[in-house]
Amino acid sequence: MAWLVLVLSGGLEAVWAVALGRSEGFTRPVPTAVFGVAVTLSMVGLAWAMRTLPVGTAYAVWVGIGASLTVAWSMATGEEPFSVVKLLLIAGLIGCVIGLKLAH
């Protein structure tokens, strides 16, 4: 169960990162509200997962998932240019996250 919560929390990290970028310094109310809710839920999930999982593993997985999804979303929406190199690096991050799960 901790792994599922951790993965969902990593997904919420991507949500709050995108919302933070769209909030324009917290001047836009809707992205700011999305940021606030997502960052809170993401941190609560991470903290809950860390009750069972080692801190280093949990944090690395959380960041890896969040970073991968954030870059993938940015490329998919055209906010960031797509490149095969970026795609391969994202795949490497995901492979490392899977490796951490298997090594646990």
Task: Give the chain's mean pLDDT.
Answer: 96
Q: What is the pTM of this model?
A: 0.90
Query: What is the distance between the alpha carbons of residues 31 and 17, in angstroms, rounded to a whole number?
Result: 10
pLDDT, one tens digit per residue, over 42-85 is 999 999 999 999 999 999 999 999 999 999 999 999 999 999 99
Mean pLDDT of the 22-44 span: 98
pLDDT of residue 88: 95
pLDDT above 90 as % of the chain: 94
Alpha-carbon span 104 to 101, nearest angstrom: 5
pLDDT beyond 90 at 2: yes
Do you know the residue count of the chain?
Answer: 104
Rounded distance between C-alpha atoms, residue 41 and residue 84, angstroms: 32
Burial call 55-84: b when 16+ CB within 10 Å, e when fewer = eebbeebbebbbbbbbbbebbeeeeeeeee
Measured distance CA(90)–CA(96) in Å, rounded: 10
